[in-house]
Amino acid sequence: MQQDERVNILLTGGAGFIGSHILDALLEDSRVGTVRVLDNFSTGKRENIVHHQGHNRFELMEGDIRDYQTCRRAVAGMHLVCHQAALGSVPRSLKDPLLSHDVNVNGTLHILQSSVEEGIRRVVFAASSSTYGDSAVLPKVEDVIGKPLSPYAVTKYVNEIYAEVYARCYGLQFVGLRYFNVFGPRQDPDGPYAAVIPLFMRAAAENKPPVFHGDGSHSRDFTFVANAVEANLRSLFADENLKDGVSPVNQVYNVACGEQHSLRQLWENISQISGCRQEPIAGSPRLGDVKHSLANIDKICHLLGYVGGIKLQEGLQRAWKAFK
């Protein structure tokens, strides 16, 4: 492949919340040729990608990463893989750990092995801040983790270990992106495993009080989806030249803003944007939830040139506009 040739990219989970935003960006990128989306639509939505129907560089392949032969067909003719397909949610993994393991671990292993078999150069995959587990260290630094607090966290950590082994044993390049509470347009407020921001926005839209899991003091590093898209594009196209003796590839990075906000602060911001003044209702803390989360983003900024320029308030304004 010549340097001036476009690269073909397999995007798993491309009909999902984050994946569909990555798809938008890839189809606008002059470096990209064909983008093939592999999705089984278990959590992804057709309406997230329908606007690309008929695009001459877009291919849709309906299938499940749990089927190895499907993965082999999906990677054929591609140069890079952006692996977003997963079964998210800590509570879901507690309810059905076998399913979470099957999708997140076996599915990712199928993607890695298929990539080796088909000569893929690099796999960029969605990792998770849940990997930090019970580590009390703040901010979270990539090489300091604790014990996992949920089956979901285990699956995401296993993916990182497998990626490192495949790089070492088979020469497959990888970049793992530990997302910190990504939010934005197309994030689903429905269902038992919906994330906090779309739930709060639906409460605001209906002028109802939001429900905290706990007293509202839990804190997170909320990350607008455009920042996650930026991290993926920088990872896919990062060169291999050393920076201060370190390669930008075969690394795991935090993807966040480096800012900490409690759930109570989050609701105050949404209240200001929406005009809803309902008082929150305190509920029981959820099993497997970490109390506080805050990312150190020095590594990704230095090695990949990541900016992550959309902070919480601007992100909430964009999300609220789309939500309405």
- Residues 6 or more apart whose Cβ sits within 8 Å of residue 103: 65, 66, 85, 86, 87
Active site residue 152: yes
> Which amino acid makes up residue 209?
P
Exposure class string for 268-307: b at 16+ Cβ within 10 A, else e = ebbbebbebeeebeeeeeeebebeebbbbbebbeebbebe
Catalytic, out of 68, 132, 152, 306? 152
The bridge status of strand 7-12 relative to strand 80-83 is parallel
User: Tokens 């189809």 map to which residue?
Assistant: 27
CB 270 within 8 A of CB 320: yes
142: closest CA among 57, 62, 255, 34?
255
Q: What is the Cα–Cα distance from 228 to 219, expressed in whole angstroms?
A: 19
Q: Which residues are catalytic?
A: 152
